Chain A
């Protein structure tokens, strides 16, 4: 009980701090925002329940890195494929910290993953059902791909019963302990959802009414995929998220903030055209279309493929692939956005001013994410008292 009280105190304190920060929208509060996102109070409470279960782990929950190998029961993970290109699964294969073999053997129990699993057909279907049943409320669900929805669900079916992808996603979401939308397709609809979205592809969060953590990128780096699983394993909690439900640890900074060519930007040294002298000297790529100033991701910090490189290092600008609807909002990819209106969840701010404005807005949004977390703890507390 003492521990619970302490948690309660912490949450109150945090809430007080947060309430002094500027609100993202003055006319809306958090429950309202959640409701608008399709999250009902009932689900909100369910999620809160799951969170409590996690929070009830000992406070001295030791980092498991060393111990994970000795754990008899690895974290059950179900990975579903929707309308996608398998690039996110390929990215997962590139992980080296831990390596994919270690991840599968020591950290997680990969119950279902169509690209990797040995079983097929009936046997594969059985594995999925078995895992959902056996690990009810305890498995982590990761979904790759956009989901043809509504009257277009039939654009994707999986399994001997011709089950639609959307049905699979809803079914597996219902009993998951945590849900991650892996990649921009699952997070925001992705390339198949680009104008005119012929198959009515939707993000996972529109198909299930459970809370979804988005891990966008096309594909997200191996670090960003595995990092969230590690967060769950090591801390037993979900990471704090921004306004687009992206984990702050990975998507908290703009590409531009830590860009190796930032000095060139500040000095006004720009590549005017690919292949020019500036390109050989590593000038800033803004004028050939870099979307780094509008994009939140850690590419400039962690890079890809064991830190081998990233687009700006390879002389090509960022295309903004971890932002919602980037296929429609960031193109043409090799031209600057300039002062074109740039549609964002923040109601479209003028782009060149945006870089900093978004930064500020996002900071506020982060506060919302953290606040939501704290509110949950409070509500759970209330429930216990009742």
Chain B
């Protein structure tokens, strides 16, 4: 007999996500459903506004990848108007991307994903001296793992626990069988968890040097960047470089080392050796390092075959809503998307409760509609986006920087290439993407210095002709994968706006043919140890780094209240 498990909320992510799975009598997952439970409708709000404001609105799609949608919104309008920002502006934007990736991935691994790998309570039993020695096994120069530091960390956490109130660490899955680190290894990760809280502050300052603040920087404008005084100030340049080195150092000496350690221990944990059942990957060039080179490559890899990179045909991108809370089910290109909401709600059912007994719960209608996210497809096929796609497409495209970091990692862990196509591999790929910025981000800095010697422009002037129609788009890879923004401008204002975001590709529901997207597919076939402690599910989903506030934006309603819904009466508005 099958049983259903509901995990809602999935915590330690951006946004509101519910996962439901069906397990058989052996606790093996037979089916899985991904549901976004929030809808905001930002693209509707953009209609009729000044195109120069687009980036400020879209930035508020997500405060975690904070800069991504800002840059996308500004760049899409530049593309529409036919503006090319000066090289200095492009390179400063690169430095901001580098700052973001160093921040975002580090915080994801330690503070969002970390507690799926590290059992804090086990760390309290560790021998700090032994742990300190052990750290040298994974890094020639480990960081924050001196015996004195580890003793202090242990004491601090023990005293915290002794107060009898674990705060954010309460009632978690401590002691779960799939926690595989030894107490000493857990202590190392715990120390890095705390250290990373300090490091992320510095990484955020790197963004603020150019962007005024992080989250939500404010120095991009259609045409370039406004932080010209910072760019021409040598002390600011020195500040950025110093902080860059500090954060990059942590990435190499802690983050890299901890993932190598996880690979060694978890390579015998079955629940992290699956989790990659959509083996189609999509990546797009991003982070210009100089006039001609980009950090990432462009293309699609199908069926895990890295001997071939397919060119992207944007006409093949569609979205459909058979299982999403919208009326129109047809697969349509983003430009033709229709978004009449059709919320059908939950059903009553008994599912596995917190103590293992069956309890009354609200569950989705799996035969019908069950999420605010649509199902994007490429030529009818689902694609995975994100760091794993960056690395896989990069290897297929023989991107020298990506080849170097990936080869080094496989050598250091002794893992075969196939190990990348797993939950563990996806987590490792994010670290490798972060390492790319840590190892090569300074190239953009050097290019900026070289260019500033001969050119100080940071802004291209332009005029928006109210009698002209414009259309354009941004496409690029941001921390969670490929992002695209599409804009049409008429009468000097935004006529239509669409964002196709990374987590839509990954978190979308099944399509009309029943083909699952990456999240849902990743869970099928995995065995759970304890139905009331679904740590394995959380770990697999976290490996994608969900950003659900992003994912639910692709839709669009007009805002006229009709009956109990706010409905889009002129879906033709999207068909222009």
Contact = CB atoms under 8 A, between A and B. Distances in A.
Interface of A: 72-74, 81, 83-91, 93-94, 96, 99-101, 104-105, 108-111, 113-124, 126-127, 130, 151-152, 154-162, 165, 190-192, 194-201, 218-219, 221, 273-275, 279-280, 282, 303-306, 308-316, 319, 327, 331-335
Given A100-B197, A117-B168, A191 B57 contact: yes
A277 B7 CA distance: 56
Contacts of A165: 38
A198 B66 contact: no
23 contacts: A86-B63, A87-B216, A93-B201, A94-B200, A105-B160, A111-B168, A116-B12, A118-B12, A118-B172, A120-B7, A121-B7, A123-B171, A126-B354, A159-B9, A160-B361, A162-B8, A192-B42, A198-B557, A199-B566, A275-B460, A280-B228, A319-B56, A332-B53
Given A105-B156, A219-B216, A332-B53, A122 B354 contact: yes
A100 B110 CA distance: 14
Contacts of B362: 160-162
A34 B440 CA distance: 57
B105 to A, nearest CB: 14
Contacts of A304: 208, 212-214
A90 B64 contact: yes
A319 B55 CA distance: 12
A96 B205 CA distance: 12
A357 B343 CA distance: 47
B576 interface: no
The size class of the interface chain B forms with chain A is 35 or more
Contacts of A99: 197-198, 201
B462 to A, nearest CB: 10
A-B pairs, 6 with minimum CB distance: A87-B63, A275-B459, A196-B559, A118-B172, A315-B226, A304-B213
A198 B44 contact: yes
B37 A158 contact: yes
Q: Chain A CB within 10 Å — which of B13, B52, B208 has the most?
A: B208
Contacts of A108: 167
Given A123-B171, A156-B38, A315 B353 contact: no
A19 B37 CA distance: 50
A272 to B, nearest CB: 11
Given A279-B226, A308-B205, A121 B168 contact: no
Interface in B201-220: 201, 204-205, 207-219
Nearest to A316: B226
Contacts of A104: 167-168
A160 B8 contact: yes
A11 to B, nearest CB: 36
Contacts of A194: 45, 57
Q: Chain B CB within 10 Å — which of A88, A126, A274, A314 has the most?
A: A314
Contacts of A113: 168
B215 A316 contact: no
Given A115-B14, A160-B351, A310-B213, 5 more contacts: A160-B361, A161-B362, A275-B224, A305-B207, A311-B212
A290 to B, nearest CB: 11
B42 A157 contact: no
A311 B218 contact: yes
Given A154-B343, A155-B38, A191-B57, A196 B45 contact: yes
A94 B203 CA distance: 10
Contacts of A333: 50, 52-53, 56
A119 B170 contact: yes
Given A119-B11, A304-B213, A305-B205, A192 B459 contact: no
A124 B354 contact: no
A161 B225 CA distance: 47
Contacts of A96: 201
B92 to A, nearest CB: 11
Contacts of B232: 280
Nearest to B555: A198
B71 to A, nearest CB: 14
Given A120-B538, A151-B564, A162-B362, A93 B219 contact: no
Contacts of B217: 314
B435 to A, nearest CB: 22
Contacts of B214: 90, 94, 304-305
B62 interface: yes
Nearest to B61: A85
B381 interface: no
